[in-house]
Amino acid sequence: MSRIRWGVPGATDAAAADVLLVASVAVPLIVAVALVSKGLRRHASWLLLLAPMPALLAALLVREGTALVVLSPPFRLSLALDEAGGLLLGGAAILWLAAGRFAIAFLRADPSCNRFLVWWLFTMAGSFAVFLVADLASFYLAYALVSFSAFGLVAHDDSAAARRAGSLYLSLTVLGEAFLIAAFVMLAAGTDQANPLIRDAVAAFPTSPWRGAILPLLLLGFTLKMGLFPLHIWMPLAHSVAPAPGSAALSGIVVKAGVIGLVRFLPEGLPVPGWGAALVAAGMVTAYYGVAIGLTQRHPKRALAYSTVSQMGVVGVVLGAGLETGDRAALLLAAFYALNHMLLKGSMFLAVGLASAGGRSGRRVGVAAMAMLGLGLAGLPLTGGAFAKYAIKVVPTSDAAVFLLTLSAAGTMALMLHVVLLLLRDEPKAGTSAGLVGPCVALSVIAMALPAILFQAVTGNLPSVVLSTGAFLGALWPIALGGALAALLVRLRDRIPEVPAGDLFALASRLAPAASRASDLAATVDRALGRWQVAGVAILGLVAVLSTVMIVR
């Protein structure tokens, strides 16, 4: 095992930094194997707390720029920690810690709990790896690990709806992997190595003869995982059937594999205006579409899933604006906003789980937490969400894009109030909040505060700029507008039909019988035309028509 450094040396001892990077991925895998032992399963709650600790320590103690070559070429396996990866690695570790503790209490009576925890740990290992790996082949393996392992979180209940959602998720995951492996092969072909470092492959992109194909393949593969329209259809179905902690991981962490993929692979310093504008447009459509469909939902988890679709649209706008201009800073700011969403949305799904399974006391705490977190996601002044939203407003290149991004916060506010009202309408169920309140509240507090704490380090601006009068009022008016929109929708709720979860997929499913009948009719016509008598008569008729036309002329 050899060690190299690309930048500033780490704050920890070099050997300790190396151990933390490797342990971030290895420990969750080891714990997953350990849970096969019946004796160790009794300690699952403590093992789930242990699994994310190396990743959290790596994010806190290992300085950006530290890199490690675990295996030398040609069998290269390299790990590295940069700013964007460090932000998402630390946020993911915090979410895995809180949601893991929540999962143990939430699933204590579930006979399939141990199976869920094994999938949980494999997904955790893949999510940490995708934020750390630095070479092309290792990234593909890490991306596949987090993507395919998450199937176990989606299909855990083994109900008809869960199997349907899991099948759709798995099908689209395979499609996304196909896009990416094609792009990665072409990227590697532009270098003199079979498995280049990601930075070397991206550096060779401008001179690649396949650059016209590489970029759209990368965008398709990664935006499918992010859930940008129209590739979002897996997300509402998956989140609505997964257990609450599984939804927290899916929405908070798994979709961020697509974000880090674009951060890693979009060319730096090379403006690509056409594809950048396309990504901005797709992101903007997604941001508003997710809100519009989410406001029709009658189940809080489905509404939250569409909120995730909307927020990934916002991230897509930031990344697209960076691609338009070649601005490297946009990539880091997109990761910062993704971190804000990761913690807030993970907390929200835990709050919904607490409200549904924690009895009357848990319901009160869950609804209160959901209301607070919703205000943060909409960017209420003085919350961490306000700092995250302020940070991304400097990226778009036009005033219209900035205005539309700001206006989207009004839709977010309306959707968050809609979720709170859905929770209040639900009848409280019998249950206990033991073991559920602590992780939910702790994660909610961190989610509300951490973006504000990291703001100066990420952007280089003092926090006071977000607290200025202009910034304060600029963040406040979308909140007020969103509240007014929510009040209007309350009056109209009985007139607004619920769009089925998966929207476009549900529409395609409804059209399937008609398409099948049309296919059967076409087959019947084809068989009829295939008979020599019919075919002969048809040919004679065609000859007669053509002859008549020629004679008339």
pLDDT of residue 533: 52
pLDDT of residue 76: 77
Is 72's pLDDT higher than 90?
A: no
pLDDT category at 12 given cuts 50, 70, 90 is low
Q: What is the mean predicted confidence (pLDDT) over 122-133?
A: 96
* 77-80/2-5 β-pairing: unpaired
- Evaluate whether 316 touches 286 at the Cβ level (below 8 Å): yes
Q: What is the mean predicted confidence (pLDDT) over 94-110?
A: 91
Residue found by looking up tokens 């790990």 in the block: 79
Is 526's pLDDT higher than 60?
A: no
Is 362's pLDDT higher than 60?
A: yes
In this structure, of 3-17, 256-270, 340-354, 421-435, the range with the lowest mean pLDDT score is: 3-17
pLDDT of residue 538: 46
How many CA within 13 A on the CB side of residue 400?
A: 3
Is 255's pLDDT higher than 90?
A: yes
pLDDT category at 507 given cuts 50, 70, 90 is confident
- Evaluate whether 208 touches 278 at the Cβ level (below 8 Å): no
Is 6's pLDDT higher than 70?
A: no
Q: Where are the alpha helices (DSSP H) in 133-210?
A: 136-149, 151-154, 160-189, 198-203
φ, ψ for residue 267, nearest 5 deg:
-65, 135
- Evaluate whether 15 touches 66 at the Cβ level (below 8 Å): no
φ, ψ for residue 235, nearest 5 deg:
-70, -50
pLDDT of residue 430: 65
> Higher model confidence: residue 533 or residue 334?
334
φ, ψ for residue 150, nearest 5 deg:
-65, -20
pLDDT of residue 191: 83
Is 8's pLDDT higher than 50?
A: no
Spatial CA neighbour of 450 closest among 375, 385, 368, 374 = 385
pLDDT of residue 232: 87
Is 361's pLDDT higher than 90?
A: no
The mean of the pLDDT values for the chain is 85
Name residues whose C-beta falls within 8 Å of residue 409's C-beta, 6 or more positions apart in sequence: 378, 379, 389, 475, 478, 479, 482
SS3 category, 466: coil
* 77-80/66-71 β-pairing: antiparallel
pLDDT of residue 3: 38
Tokens found for residue 35? 């849970």
DSSP string over 420-459 = HHHHHHSPPPS---TTTHHHHHHHHHHHHHHHHHHHHHHH
How does pLDDT run across 443-461, given as a tens digit for each residue?
A: 999 999 999 999 999 998 8
Is 488's pLDDT higher than 50?
A: yes
pLDDT category at 261 given cuts 50, 70, 90 is very high
Residue type at position 373: L
2 membership: H or E segment, kind and range: strand 2-5
Tokens found for residue 498? 């619920």
pLDDT of residue 131: 96
pLDDT of residue 514: 54
pLDDT category at 517 given cuts 50, 70, 90 is low
pLDDT of residue 10: 43
77 membership: H or E segment, kind and range: strand 77-80
Distance, in Å, from the CA atom of 88 to the CA atom of 234, rounded to the nearest integer, reads 23
DSSP string over 475-501 = HHHHHHHHHHHHHHHHHHGGGSPPPPT
pLDDT category at 173 given cuts 50, 70, 90 is very high
pTM: 0.88
Q: What is the mean predicted confidence (pLDDT) over 155-172?
A: 88
Q: Edge-to-edge strand order for the sheet containing 66-71?
A: 2-5, 66-71, 77-80
How does pLDDT run across 312-355, given as a tens digit for each residue?
A: 999 999 999 999 988 888 999 999 999 999 999 999 999 999 98
Taking the CB of residue 424, how many other CB atoms lie within 10 A of it? 12
- Evaluate whether 346 touches 361 at the Cβ level (below 8 Å): no
| Start-to-end C-alpha separation, the chain | 85
How many residues would you count in the chain?
553
In this structure, of 1-5, 169-173, 234-238, the range with the lowest mean pLDDT score is: 1-5
Angstrom CA distances, 248 to 90, 119, 230, 239, 351, stand at: 16, 14, 22, 8, 10
- Evaluate whether 241 touches 158 at the Cβ level (below 8 Å): no
DSSP string over 330-361 = HHHHHHHHHHHHHHHHHHHHHHHHHHHHSHHH
Distance, in Å, from the CA atom of 111 to the CA atom of 350, rounded to the nearest integer, reads 21
Taking the CB of residue 389, how many other CB atoms lie within 10 A of it? 28
Distance, in Å, from the CA atom of 309 to the CA atom of 479, rounded to the nearest integer, reads 20
In this structure, of 182-196, 369-383, 428-442, the range with the lowest mean pLDDT score is: 428-442
Q: What is the mean predicted confidence (pLDDT) over 464-487?
A: 90
pLDDT category at 60 given cuts 50, 70, 90 is very high
How does pLDDT run across 274-322, given as a tens digit for each residue?
A: 999 999 999 999 999 999 999 999 889 999 999 999 999 999 999 999 9
Is 186's pLDDT higher than 80?
A: yes
pLDDT category at 34 given cuts 50, 70, 90 is confident
